[in-house]
Amino acid sequence: MPETIRIEPAEEQDRYSRLRLIPWWDQQRIRSARVLVIGAGALGNELLKNLALLGFLNIVIVDLDAIEVTNLSRAILFRPSDIGHSKAATAARAYRELLPEARVQPVQANIMRDCGLGLFAWADVILCGLDNREARLWTNRAAWKTNRPWIDGAIEGVNGVARVFLPGNPPCYECTLGKTDWEILDRRMSCNLLLHEPHPSGRVPTTPTISSIIAGIQVQEAVKLLHGMPVLAGKGYVFEGLQHTSYVVDYTENPDCLSHYTLEKVIHLQEQSSALTLGQLQYRAARELENEDVVLEFSRDVIDRLVCPKCGAQQEYFVPVGALPYSEGPCTHCGAMRIVHTLSGFRGQAELAVRTLDRLGLPLFDFVTARSPAGEITYCIAGDAPSVLGTLSEVRP
């Protein structure tokens, strides 16, 4: 909620007057909510269209891809002249055309590799229009860590499912994954952590009719959630378009699920990641935890170097795991497949202590967790927020 409640102008009172006729409706909650939309494809377009019509003013849109001609059959926000342009930026511009008062920040990025956990923590609710399990699994874990609700949508043919996952309240998305899902997930990454192939995005058969149905349910759930009403928590609304059958599935909690973890204590640092070294952060954590034995844990593993087992040649990388394709593996000198070295954190290595956080291959506005026998503490590198969120960084929780 914002610090001050603004009185809405008369025009706005008129604009939303039909919505206000709903007895429980609170336009102010909609106005002030911060929404992270991941994916600006078929579902993402419909999510954003609904959010704009309802009067949501604070929106971040994450998508890596550019618009292709195939998107035009399922994307209300894109025009033929937009082909080749960023989906996120184009969707943001279209959003502002529908709702000029809105602050919309496009982020052209891969959600798993390029977005800090600060972006998740910024949002009151996360809406996903994703087309692959890997990004959903990442989103699920990030949402749990940062204690944020997320609403998933999935479509294929004329069928679809919408579901709501609340942190701290299993079953979660990972709990719903079966053996086949894990096989598909495992196939993506080779055993040496280099990426086999980019995921075949946009190949799933979908229609604009099913994306509007499922995205409609997702946004409706978001509105209910923001009003504190009961939602499809840990459940899925399934719609089958051929027979117009719909039903709600109950998922079962997996007691061994790795997603069920929420970071307890998060401290927002005013520094930017370019102004903070690992050594400085470890020193600060040791003081705050009152314990010298501190390990800094990154939000994701990074590949720091590839080493040739045959000729010994080394090459430094510092990129997130998943960012290097399999074709990067062979040694440039002798052709042998190199060994991937990864870092999951900082234990005081001298060569890393002077490295600033922006030179690790981690995204801006990320979280770093400090662990010691005395407890744990998480730092959000909030000094990066303006670079990532633009004017939305002024919209405080």
Q: Which residues bind Zn ion (CB under 5 A)?
A: 170, 172, 174-175, 257, 259, 308, 310-311, 313, 331, 333-334, 336
The least distance separating Zn ion from the CB of residue 339, rounded to whole angstroms, comes to: 11
CB of 333 to Zn ion, least distance (A): 4
- Is 229 or 311 the residue whose CB approaches Zn ion more closely? 311
Rounded-to-integer distance, Cα 199 and Cα 334, Å:
30
Q: Which residue lies nearer to Zn ion by CB, 253 or 271? A: 253
Which residues, in sequence order, are CB contacts of 394 under 8 Å at separation 6+? none
Q: Smallest distance, Å, CB 307 to Zn ion?
A: 9
What is the nearest approach in angstroms of Zn ion to the Cβ of residue 130? Answer: 17
Quick one: 124 or 174, whose CB is closer to Zn ion? Answer: 174
Closer residue to Zn ion, CB minimum distance, 177 or 381: 177
- Residue 212 vs 259, nearer CB to Zn ion: 259
2 and 396 Cβ atoms separated by less than 8 Å:
yes
Residue 120 Cβ vs Zn ion, minimum distance, rounded to whole Å: 17
- Name which of 81 and 327 has its Cβ closer to Zn ion: 327
Minimum distance between the CB of residue 359 and Zn ion, rounded to whole angstroms?
A: 26
What is the nearest approach in angstroms of Zn ion to the Cβ of residue 134? 16
Least separation in angstroms between residue 69's CB and Zn ion is 39
